[in-house]
Amino acid sequence: MTRLMADADCLFELPAVERALDDMATRVSADLSERLPVFYCVMNGGLITTGHLLTRLGFPLKVDYLHATRYRSELRGGELFWRVSPEVPMSGRHVVIVDDILDEGTTLAAIIDYCRRAGAASVSSAVLVEKQHQRKAVPGLRADYCGLEVEDRYVFGFGMDYKGYWRNAPGIFAPRGL
């Protein structure tokens, strides 16, 4: 794993990630600062993006988390498995789902569906990274607030893992050759 990191391609260094988060925060604030929104972090990957995004927001909000996973340390996604459902009620609230990456979008689409069924007044999504390809679960699916676009490679860092490791990597990386 040490070698993997040393050999990895850096797609975005930390300053670029910070700028993307600043920009996301500006857009989220413009839309939601008067709405007492509730932010739901999608664990595990969304942890770091949620922390960095929320500390840039200067208005009252609530935070909760949910845990839905379909990769589980694998490089290919499987069936979505809900490990933890959210606790803070969504009914009548302006909900923002925060995650690290929108790849095929199966995870985000299922979570948005869950929030709508739970009676959220509005549901929006914020992801640090969107992967560019034509395999979206729902054609044309995009996050409402996206920080960076990445090419169609398996990426890690800033919350995203490589086989369970390197969520702590300070930037966005791709293993060489993958």
Ligand X SMILES: Nc1nc2[nH]cnc2c(=O)[nH]1
Which one of ligand PRP, ligand X, none is in contact with 69 (Cβ closer than 5 to 8 A by kind)? ligand PRP
Q: 38 — phi, psi (to 5°)?
A: -115, 125
Position 11 contacts ligand X (CB under 6 A): no
Q: Please count the residues of this chain forming the interface with ligand X, following the rule CB under 6 A.
A: 8
What token pair was written down for 74? Answer: 């694998």
The rounded distance, in Å, linking the Cα atoms of 175 and 170 is: 15
How many other CB atoms sit within 10 Å of the CB of residue 39? 24
Using alpha carbons, select from 22, 43, 2, 51 the residue that is nearest to residue 160.
43
Which one of ligand X, ligand PRP, none is in contact with 65 (Cβ closer than 5 to 8 A by kind)? none
Position 155 contacts ligand X (CB under 6 A): yes
**93 or 131, CB closer to ligand X?**
131
The one among 18, 23, 56, 70 contacting ligand PRP by CB under 6 A: 70
The one among 44, 122, 154, 171 contacting ligand X by CB under 6 A: 154
How many other CB atoms sit within 10 Å of the CB of residue 118? 15
Position 153 contacts ligand PRP (CB under 6 A): no
Position 48 contacts ligand X (CB under 6 A): no
The rounded distance, in Å, linking the Cα atoms of 177 and 172 is: 15
Position 95 contacts ligand X (CB under 6 A): no
Judged by CB under 6 A, the stretch of 22-30, 86-94, 133-141, 152-160 that binds ligand X is 152-160
Q: Mutual orientation of helices 46-54 and 14-32 as an angle, nearest 10°?
A: 60
C-alpha 174: how far from chain center: 17
Position 161 contacts ligand X (CB under 6 A): yes
DSSP-assigned beta bridge partners for residue 63: 39
Q: Please count the residues of this chain forming the interface with ligand PRP, following the rule CB under 6 A.
A: 18
Q: For binding to ligand X (CB under 6 A), which residues are involved?
A: 71, 101, 103, 154-156, 160-161
